[in-house]
A and B are shown apart, each in its own frame.
Chain A
Amino acid sequence: MSLREAGAITGVGETQYLRGTDRTALSFQLEASLNAIRDAGLRPSDIDGLIPYGHGAVAEDFITNFGIKDLRFSATTPMGGASAVAAIQCALAVIQAGICKHVLISLGRTGYSGGRIGTRVQQMPQFKVIGEFEMPLGAIAPAQLYAPMARRHMEMYGTTSRQLAEIAVTTRHHASLQRNATMRTPITIEDHQSSRMISDPLRLLDCSLESDGGAAVVISAPDRARDLAKRPIMVMGVAEGHPDSPSAITQRPDLTTLGLAKAAPKAFAMAGIERGDIDVAEVYDCFTYIVMCQLEDLGFCKKGEGGAFVEGGALGLNGRLPVNTHGGLLSQAHMAGMNHIVELARQLRGEADAQVQDAEIGLVTGYGDMGDGALAIMRRA
Chain B
Amino acid sequence: MIWFLIPVVAVLAVVAYAAGLALAKRRAAGHPQAHSRPQQHGYYALIWVAAPALAVIILAGIFSGPIAQNLISAGLPDVVQDMEPFRRDAFLNDARLLGEGQRPFQTWTGPLAEALESEAARSAGIQRTLMWGGIAGAALAALLGGLLAFAQIGPTLRARNRVEGWIGGLLFACSVVAILTTVGIVFSLVFDAVRFFDRVSITEFLFGTQWSPQIAIRADQVGSTGAFGAVPLFAGTFLIMLIAMAVAAPVGLFSAIYLSEYAGPITRGVVKPMLEILAGVPTVVYGFFAALTVGPAFREFFNGIGALLVGGPLDGLGQYLMLVQNQMALVAGTVMGIMLIPFVSSLSDDIINAVPQSLRDGSYAMGATKSETVSRVLLPAALPGIAGAMLLAVSRAIGETMIVTMAAGLAANLTLNPLDTVTTVTVQIVTLLTGDQEFDSAKTLAAFGLGLTLFIVTLLLNIVAQRIVQTYREQYD
Asked if chains A and B come from one complex, the reply is no
Residues of chain A whose beta carbon lies under 8 Å from any beta carbon of chain B: none
